[in-house]
Structure 1
């Protein structure tokens, strides 16, 4: 598995050779031949990685090549570390510069010598690889597809009585197929491997009603390595109901496509394309299906969401996303497979449920594990406990579980190298850990997995990688947000076990979870999960690049962290100490001059020393939930900083304007003394995408407006006026001098008293979410301007943001709105929805508002899925008759809403 290491090293060398030519003087001529050799090896390795498991000699050579690639990376970073010196001013600075130049020459000579030795190692490995270079060129995924069976044929033979949780999806798919629409319909079923897509579609395909509806039927398994000619011949055999006509045995694919198209032109047909892996595969076959207005249908199963979307573009998006089984469904299926519908022995119930939890509702895993356990003696609890404890290892060692591993391997080997390393890196997160998308993106960028290209920032490239893993159903969404896609995700437990195994094999990440660490000779990335035991001063960490604390780790404090850092490499680029019991900033951190990522989130650190100015390569500084209230002036030296986040009011120095690459800045204080200067400096941060400013004084509003007009890249803006000392009392927020809002703004949060509705809100055509707090607006200009914004999906009014008695949402307005929240609007009495308003509203929350009745016209909100009314006083209004009061609180108005949460608070 050297392809990842070699390809990653090539990616590191390209910008180094392009941008650091001056620094590489005397070394560059040693680097270029290494890169050229790596380029020659790359294509070969893509196939060799899949073949090496069958050839021990090849396996050893590939492993050696991976280690040389890692050593090359280390040598080059060591060179950059030795050049990372700083010069003072004056005469002593001049002498220091001369001394450093002498040292630099010596460093170049030493590094050049090391690189020559590395080149010789590459040459020796290359010669040894010559006998293997006749390996047939092709993708590793094709090799896997040809040699491994993923049990797809078995899935087609399962009796329907053995299945669980299939009725609802089967009913929905059959309903789509039997719909009398005349145009050709494409239905896509999408989800991760093992969810039962093939099994479900087969039962739909074999349904008697479906059979009777269509004249012609064909089931084609596409797979990763399909042969178009053979695929078309198989389809013709099925459509013609017999052997392939002899005249077609030597026909090319275009002629075969024409034969199929002509045959189907007069037919009402249903064709299943099972296991489609790429849009290219769909594009290559889709034209054989004529739209003959006979109500024909094509069903596609795929693991990749983009394939599902591409196939359904012209058929009203009939996409069914497979879901994991519920806990109840999982237990039912487990019973069927493990105990053959007999009672589970009481002494095995807890163990069974723990094993079942590991399956995460994945039908394939439940079926396979159930089959393994069915063969074990139910009286031998030790055998069951062994499976429970070592389930991850069981994937590698148990032949019966090989099928699960193969399913995951198909998806893994289909990834390009840059997604493979990103995917394997996700094993740093513990089991059941909710993964924050933003954290992952910044880590990938800091690790160098994602780099700037084609005018995209590294973080933008990393976000594309994350979305691609989502698209391939390798990451499960836990929490969605309306702006920026999914916020929190997770990895299926068994899939995580698979990537831990691969990561260990490739020395991508070493995990420490309280047990003795099984270290490779050189640990490159270390993730601590439960304990720091056996970690301090470990000699394996001399080449450590990343140290990450994930979850609650016992025994870590300032002393232990300092001990680890003293024994670790100075090449460290990622240091994530979130949640560690730190009281002070570890002094050793300031010496890590190659550090790109530093997180002190959720620590007790209160003071950031001026020595942080040494970290000239720092890109991320995460102080969220730490106790830092002020940053030193040296923060202005961190010219590469892109992400600076704190959760409390943090006073920043006026030097903040030096950070011209900053993309995210939150939450800074406008300051009591230099607020006007700081607001002016913010205008220099033209790369900002996210800005939070707290404690803004009224008199600084105009200067802030002037700066905001220069921030053309801004996507998120939160401005909070200075509080008066009460929870919901704010100073005047003066933003009326802003001529127009940032054109790309998507999220707007304003906290403070607005004398009038800012007119520039009407120009925010990219706005997706607006949140107003304490605005005390009375006029209806706000709704008039907001209702016409084309992309607005979320609207929140809080703490007297609106102080009128009635909110009326007009017909035709808020066409994209999905979420509306009204909270603590003490003057509000009536909410009214005209017919045709908010046609796509899905969630409505109204809390602690003295409403006189349910919202008028709520029956018009036909897409509403959830309503939450908090502290509703159904005894009001006292001035209405009983009949009018009953009408105001008529529960029948809410009958069409699936989820209703009404909390009454009757007052006396």
Structure 2
């Protein structure tokens, strides 16, 4: 993340804050302005100063029980029992944090009601604990901060200087290393990205993946970006990501589309994805190549191209877990639907009738106790079936052999 003057001042203000009362700070801004990236910077910078830390991603349609389970798992280091209820989970978190100094990051809250539930888990002790939330909704930010507007930091697009720094650092290592003949057109591309971090990063990563940066590709990107009609930062970023997606090799597109089966904000582990891609037959090797090593290289390439966001990074800089940005998730979900690649059903959708051509089916149960077979579907066409979350009783596919990840 490029840290400009405003962001640097905000980080310094948190670093120099010696108030011992529990304080909630909210990062407010439209989608794709870098709120999650800033939250990760804050988490990495300050986590070592606290007894307990957790980073939770909420999303637009949250499963609050799953969120509280994840939070409790992070703070106490072990999974709670499967039948834990919402109030029990909040009480257990509060009890565990009672005598500790804690840092909680809650990313992407959409409703005040979600905050009201989650906030019951935080004991209001005078140990200098901090809760940092991110949201696109001003009313939610105010609610989180108890209407103390001074505790809200509003994100803005990057200015042109910092956009250029971000772009050229990814593409060439620094702006001074950019060939003179490319300066004019690359500056135009940076300008067209509108100061949106993810859009700028996506285009720079696309170009950096090319063996040679050719003027015809730069001209194509300029023309494509110039013709985009952006109604919001999220829409602009999506159109840039669509350009990057269209320029992916087919084998990376397939592996990326596979991620659409997971809910927004879901943490995915590299080892699990590698095994899933191999089991699905997405990895094609020649000679004596190891399939899992090839699959791991695909994962690393999607990280490099910024379609996947790293979460847990090992000491050797290897990414072990990841998530994907909501805008990327929306994009690949639409692409998946267009190509009939994967069908996702969650427990809130009742009496879903599916095409007989379903090839991959992902079932998101949340905390649902019962599930029924989707209607109007020839099970013989399903190649793989994925279960996610806490399934108690499942009356499904009694005669089907399937892959479960």
Shorter chain as denominator, the TM-score bin is 0.5 to 0.7
Q: Judging changes above 3 Å, is the alpha-carbon distance between structure 1 residues 268 and 398 closer, same or farther for their aligned structure 2 residues?
A: closer
Aligned to 2:19: 181
1:227 Cα deviation after fit: 1.1
Aligned to 2:173: 340
Aligned to 2:217: 383
Aligned to 1:244: 79
Aligned to 2:41: 203
Please point out which of 280, 285, 291 is paired with 2:118. Answer: 285
**Local SS of the residue matching 1:288:** coil
1:375 Cα deviation after fit: 3.2
Aligned residues of 2:110 and 2:135 also touching (Cα < 8 A)? yes
Give the Cα separation in 2 of the matches to 1:263 and 1:178.
Answer: 27
1:290 Cα deviation after fit: 1.9
1:369 Cα deviation after fit: 0.5
Give the Cα separation in 1 of the matches to 2:66 and 2:198.
Answer: 29
1:189 Cα deviation after fit: 0.7
What whole-Å deviation, never above 9, does each CA across 1:445-474 have from its counterpart, x for those lacking one? xxxxxxxxxxxxxxxxxxxxxxxxxxxxxx
What whole-Å deviation, never above 9, does each CA across 1:626-645 have from its counterpart, x for those lacking one? xxxxxxxxxxxxxxxxxxxx
Q: Please report the TM-score for the alignment, with normalisation by the length of structure 2.
A: 0.54
Aligned residues of 1:165 and 1:325 also touching (Cα < 8 A)? no
Give the Cα separation in 2 of the matches to 1:206 and 1:348.
Answer: 36
Give the Cα separation in 1 of the matches to 2:61 and 2:140.
Answer: 16
Q: Judging changes above 3 Å, is the alpha-carbon distance between structure 1 residues 371 and 326 closer, same or farther for their aligned structure 2 residues?
A: same
Give the Cα separation in 2 of the matches to 1:299 and 1:305.
Answer: 15
Aligned to 1:399: 245
Q: Judging changes above 3 Å, is the alpha-carbon distance between structure 1 residues 336 and 256 closer, same or farther for their aligned structure 2 residues?
A: same
**Local SS of the residue matching 2:203:** helix
- The reply to whether residue 350 of structure 1 matches residue 184 of structure 2 is yes
**Local SS of the residue matching 1:295:** coil
- The reply to whether residue 235 of structure 1 matches residue 68 of structure 2 is no
Q: Judging changes above 3 Å, is the alpha-carbon distance between structure 1 residues 308 and 225 closer, same or farther for their aligned structure 2 residues?
A: same
- The reply to whether residue 363 of structure 1 matches residue 201 of structure 2 is no
Aligned residues of 2:199 and 2:241 also touching (Cα < 8 A)? no
- The reply to whether residue 372 of structure 1 matches residue 206 of structure 2 is yes
Aligned to 2:28: 190
- The reply to whether residue 225 of structure 1 matches residue 58 of structure 2 is no
**Local SS of the residue matching 2:177:** coil
Aligned to 1:256: 89
Aligned to 1:491: none
Give the Cα separation in 1 of the matches to 2:20 and 2:54.
Answer: 20
1:397 Cα deviation after fit: 5.2
What whole-Å deviation, never above 9, does each CA across 1:251-309 have from its counterpart, x for those lacking one? 11111111112222222211010111122211221222121122211100112222111
Aligned to 1:137: none
Q: Could you say which structure has the greater relative contact order, defined with CA pairs below 8 angstroms and 6 or more residues apart?
A: 2
Aligned to 1:266: 99
Aligned residues of 2:35 and 2:155 also touching (Cα < 8 A)? yes
Give the Cα separation in 1 of the matches to 2:84 and 2:181.
Answer: 64
Q: Judging changes above 3 Å, is the alpha-carbon distance between structure 1 residues 182 and 395 closer, same or farther for their aligned structure 2 residues?
A: closer
1:337 Cα deviation after fit: 1.5
Aligned residues of 1:219 and 1:274 also touching (Cα < 8 A)? yes
Aligned residues of 1:214 and 1:269 also touching (Cα < 8 A)? yes
Please point out which of 314, 319, 323 is paired with 2:152. Answer: 319
Give the Cα separation in 2 of the matches to 1:250 and 1:379.
Answer: 55
Aligned residues of 1:166 and 1:200 also touching (Cα < 8 A)? no
Give the Cα separation in 2 of the matches to 1:203 and 1:347.
Answer: 35
Give the Cα separation in 2 of the matches to 1:184 and 1:165.
Answer: 26
Q: Judging changes above 3 Å, is the alpha-carbon distance between structure 1 residues 286 and 389 closer, same or farther for their aligned structure 2 residues?
A: same
Give the Cα separation in 1 of the matches to 2:14 and 2:147.
Answer: 15
Figure out how many residues of one structure are paired with residues of the other and give that number: 238
What whole-Å deviation, never above 9, does each CA across 1:11-56 have from its counterpart, x for those lacking one? xxxxxxxxxxxxxxxxxxxxxxxxxxxxxxxxxxxxxxxxxxxxxx
**Local SS of the residue matching 1:188:** strand
Give the Cα separation in 1 of the matches to 2:115 and 2:15.
Answer: 20
Q: Judging changes above 3 Å, is the alpha-carbon distance between structure 1 residues 312 and 191 closer, same or farther for their aligned structure 2 residues?
A: same
Aligned residues of 1:368 and 1:401 also touching (Cα < 8 A)? no
Q: Which runs of 5+ in 1 are unaligned?
A: 1-162, 407-493, 499-908
Q: How does 1:375-774 map to 2 (within 5 A)?
A: 375-376=209-210, 380-391=214-225, 392=228, 396=242, 398-399=244-245
Aligned residues of 1:223 and 1:275 also touching (Cα < 8 A)? yes
Aligned to 2:129: 296
Aligned residues of 1:189 and 1:302 also touching (Cα < 8 A)? yes
Q: Please report the TM-score for the alignment, with normalisation by the length of structure 1.
A: 0.25
Q: Judging changes above 3 Å, is the alpha-carbon distance between structure 1 residues 216 and 182 closer, same or farther for their aligned structure 2 residues?
A: same
Give the Cα separation in 2 of the matches to 1:217 and 1:170.
Answer: 22
Larger Cα-atom Rg: 1
